[in-house]
Amino acid sequence: MKGFVENRFGLVALVLIALGALYGLAFLTRPAQEAPPARGPQKVAVESVVAVCPAPRGAEVAVLSAPGEGTVTVGSAQVKEPGKLWREPVKGDGPVVVKATGKAAQGLEASFGTKTAKGRSRGLAGVRCTEPAGTTWLIGPGPSAAGVTLHLTNADAAPALADVLVYSAEGPVPSDAGRGITVKPGAHVELDLNELAPSATVTAVGVTTSTGRLAVAARAVMDGRGVDWLPASAPPATRVVVPGIPSGEGKRELLVAAPGKLDAAVQVRAVTTDGSYAMKGRETLDVIAGTVAVMELTKGLDGQAAAVELVSDVPVVAGMVISTSVDVAFSAGTPPLDLGGAVADNGKGSSLVLTAVGGPGRVKVGTATVDVPASRTKVVKVKAGTGLVVTPVSGQVYGGRVTSERTGAGTLITAQPLSQGRIWTLLPTYTDDPAVVLP
């Protein structure tokens, strides 16, 4: 009996070995499975948008939305005809939340502008109503050069906890006042930058939330030398384009911040109506880690409409201070108009400053096709009292909207770089991977 059992188990073992060899051979000789083709992010239509206008204080808010099904609300007011430009004065001192759903949300754009004829806040000022985000960058004058007020708005139903980091020409500014700022749902906090960095002449400000999201904006009052809002800047990158620099008189100052731990060596090129070139004596800018550097570009740009292209060895944040004899405006690094762009509030004396970086570019401004020559800037006048949509056709085009008004005292001015339109959003592609469920 013992021999029989041993033989039986030996036979089973031989069978298992044979089956293992057979399956092993089949595995090794099976046709290789082709990996699914790599796909980039998917472009899908926007179906819901929230944008915050920081503090209109009686100004007219302009809202441009797409026609079609859906709803658009501006504070407590409802836009009755989506697809048509909506302009109404808004009462109250606080922020105004603009919401859109459905097809009406595609391409939603909202902004407001003000004009003050005299006093400390004399000048034109305007701002794009921004969507809540986890991180926002701003760059511009500091409290020793202007009165700068930071606006933090929580349009969500959950609280937000934020840190405000300030970088100056001397380096990062240590301040407990900017740490752990709680903004309750639906609440609005105004923060005087003088409380964080009282001696800074220029600043880069990074607002980051550890929980929740905030819509962030900043208003700079130059005490009789102009007023405007700082546009949100593109996040730190090794290639930055600052568009929408108008032609005309006055100073042009480039601001570049290196918020990381490494010094930045930045190559600077102007892209004007005459062409692209490195400005003599302004070819490079060295920025010490954690600081903001300033480069005077007035002579280099020579009064031309332009954009400035920066290439750095480490990520940087950049912006432009545009001054006339009586007013000031700001621009900042923005992405190309690959997803389109829009402007809701065009006043008298408004124009688009479009720049093609590298090869030629083509866009549609409303229904009109505009060709921008390679490595050049083109100015397109726009009709007052209208909203407009800029649709990409080919090439990489960057843009900004500038509004100016001549007065007896000098030229009033405001600027708004064109951000990517809220028409499409990019969703990451996910791939099935059994490994994610394995221990």
Measured CA to CA in angstroms, residue 437 lies from 33, 35, 434 at distances of 22, 20, 6
Which tokens go with 327? 């007013």
Question: Quick check: 409 pLDDT over 90?
Answer: no
In the prediction, which pLDDT does 31 show? Answer: 52
The three-point CA angle 145-150-155 to 5° equals 165
In the prediction, which pLDDT does 307 show? Answer: 99
Question: Quick check: 310 pLDDT over 80?
Answer: yes
pLDDT (average), residues 399-404: 97
Residue 142: CB atoms within 10 A of its CB come to 26
In the prediction, which pLDDT does 36 show? Answer: 54
SS3 content of the chain, % helix, strand, coil (to 5): 10, 50, 40
What's the N-to-C CA distance of the chain in angstroms?
A: 45
Which tokens go with 325? 């004899």
Structural domain includes residue 37: no
In the prediction, which pLDDT does 54 show? Answer: 94
Give the total number of structural domains in the chain: 1
The three-point CA angle 229-117-380 to 5° equals 60
Question: Quick check: 89 pLDDT over 70?
Answer: yes
Which tokens go with 358? 């590298």
Burial state string for 335-346 with b = 16 or more CB within 10 A and e = fewer than 16: bbbebbbbbbbb
Question: Quick check: 350 pLDDT over 90?
Answer: yes
In the prediction, which pLDDT does 79 show? Answer: 95
User: Which of 375, 400, 257 minimizes the C-alpha distance to 309?
Assistant: 375
Question: Quick check: 438 pLDDT over 70?
Answer: no
In the prediction, which pLDDT does 211 show? Answer: 98
pLDDT-based confidence at 90, cuts 50/70/90?
Answer: confident
Structural domain includes residue 162: yes
| pLDDT tens profile 170-208 | 999 998 999 999 999 999 999 999 999 999 999 999 999
pLDDT (average), residues 279-289: 97
In the prediction, which pLDDT does 20 show? Answer: 52
Structural domain includes residue 300: yes
In the prediction, which pLDDT does 44 show? Answer: 80
Beta bridge partners of residue 281, listed in sequence order: none
In the prediction, which pLDDT does 25 show? Answer: 45
pLDDT (average), residues 212-223: 96
Which tokens go with 380? 């397109």
Structural domain includes residue 373: yes
Beta bridge partners of residue 60, listed in sequence order: 89
| pLDDT tens profile 141-170 | 999 999 999 999 999 999 999 999 999 999
Which tokens go with 72? 């658009």
- Whether the model clears a pTM of 0.85, i.e. scores above it, the answer is yes
- Give the least confident one: 80-89, 201-210, 365-374: 80-89
Which tokens go with 177? 């006042």
Question: Quick check: 38 pLDDT over 60?
Answer: no
Measured CA to CA in angstroms, residue 423 lies from 66, 236, 373, 396 at distances of 9, 24, 26, 18
Beta bridge partners of residue 62, listed in sequence order: 87, 111
Burial state string for 17-28 with b = 16 or more CB within 10 A and e = fewer than 16: eeeeeeeeeeee
Beta bridge partners of residue 227, listed in sequence order: 221
Return the higher-pLDDT residue of 99 and 90: 99
Structural domain includes residue 33: no
Do the beta carbons of residue 228 and residue 330 sit within 8 Å? yes
The three-point CA angle 160-232-263 to 5° equals 100
* Percent residues over pLDDT 90 in the chain: 76
In the prediction, which pLDDT does 15 show? Answer: 43
CA–CA dist 399, 341 (Å, integer): 9
- Exposed / middle / buried, residue 81 (Cβ in 10 Å: 0-12, 13-18, 19+): exposed
Which residue range(s) make up the domain with 147? Answer: 42-426
Q: What is the mean pLDDT of the chain?
A: 90
Question: Quick check: 33 pLDDT over 60?
Answer: no
> Helices (H), strands (E): how many in the chain?
2, 35
In the prediction, which pLDDT does 433 show? Answer: 54
Structural domain includes residue 112: yes
In the prediction, which pLDDT does 1 show? Answer: 47
Measured CA to CA in angstroms, residue 291 lies from 287, 321, 390 at distances of 7, 17, 35
| pLDDT tens profile 373-400 | 999 999 999 999 899 999 999 999 999 9
CA–CA dist 276, 278 (Å, integer): 7
Structural domain includes residue 8: no
- Give the least confident one: 119-128, 307-316, 353-362: 119-128
Grouping H, G, I as helix, E, B as strand and the rest as coil, residue 93 is coil
In the prediction, which pLDDT does 427 show? Answer: 66
Do the beta carbons of residue 298 and residue 221 sit within 8 Å? no
Residue 159 neighbours by CB under 8 Å, 6+ apart: 182, 183, 184, 185, 211, 212
Structural domain includes residue 129: yes
The DSSP code sequence of 133-144 is BSEEEEEEE-TT
